[in-house]
Amino acid sequence: MNIKALNGFKDILPGEVELWQRLEAVARDIFARFNFFEIRLPILEKTDLFARAIGEATDIVEKEMYTFVDKQVTMRPEATASLLRAYIEHGLHVQKPVQRLFTIGPMFRHERPQKGRLRQFHQMDVEVLGSVSPRVDAEMMAMGAMLLGELGLFVSLELNSLGCPVCRPGFRTSLLAFLDDRHRALCDDCKRRSATNPLRVLDCKNPKCREQVLEAPSLQDHLCADCADHFRGVQEGLGQLGVQYSLNKFMVRGLDYYTRTTFEFITSDLGAQAAVGAGGRYDGLVEQLGGPSVPGIGFALGMERLVLLLQQKEDKIAVSGIDLFVAAIGEQSSRHAFGLAHALRTSGMRVAMDLEGRSLKSQMKQAGKLGAAHVLILGEDELAAGKAVLRNMATKQQQEIVLQEEGKMVQTLILQLKSL
RNA sequence: GUGAAUGUAGCUCAGCUGGUGGUAGCACUUGGUUGUGGUCCAAGAAGUCGUGGGUUCGAGUCCCAUCAUUCACCCCA
**Rounded distance between C-alpha atoms, residue A315 and residue A317, angstroms:** 6
Backbone angles phi and psi of A62, in degrees to 5 = -70, -40
Q: How distant is C1' of B41 from CA of A353, in Å? A: 28
pLDDT digits (tens, 9 = 90+) for A114-137: 888 999 999 999 999 999 999 999
Write the single-letter amino acid at A161.
S
Instruction: Please state the rounded mean pLDDT for residues A206-212.
Output: 75
Q: What is the nearest nucleotide to A308, using C1' and CA?
A: B77
- In order of A262, A277, A280, the CA distances from A268 in angstroms are 19, 13, 21
Give A318's pLDDT tier (boundaries 50, 70, 90).
Answer: low
ipTM surpassing 0.85, yes or no? no
Q: Are A103 and A122 in contact (CB under 8 A)?
A: no
Ramachandran category for residue A96: left, alpha or beta (phi over 0 → left; psi -120 to 50 → alpha):
beta
∠ CA A139-A40-A153, rounded to 5°? 45
The CATH number of A17-167+223-313, from 3.40.50.970, 3.30.930.10, 3.40.50.450, 3.40.50.1110, is 3.30.930.10
Q: Check for a shared fold between A17-167+223-313 and A324-419.
A: no
Listed by start position, the domains of chain A span: 17-167+223-313, 324-419
C-alpha dist (Å) from residue A63 to A97, A257, A347: 37, 18, 54
Q: CA angle, A227 as apex, A223 and A233 as ends, to 5°? A: 125
Could you say which of 3.40.50.800, 2.60.120.560, 1.10.150.20, 3.30.1490.190 is the CATH number of the domain covering A324-419? Answer: 3.40.50.800
Quick one: residue A396, left, alpha or beta (phi over 0 = left, psi -120 to 50 = alpha)? left
pLDDT for res A314: 63
pLDDT at A2 over 70: no
E strands of A99-223, at which residues? Answer: 99-108, 120-129, 156-161
Q: Residue A5 CA to nucleotide B20 C1', Å? A: 36
Q: Nearest nt (C1') to A256 (CA)?
A: B76
pLDDT at residue A319 in the model: 67
Distance A329 CA to B34 C1' (A): 14
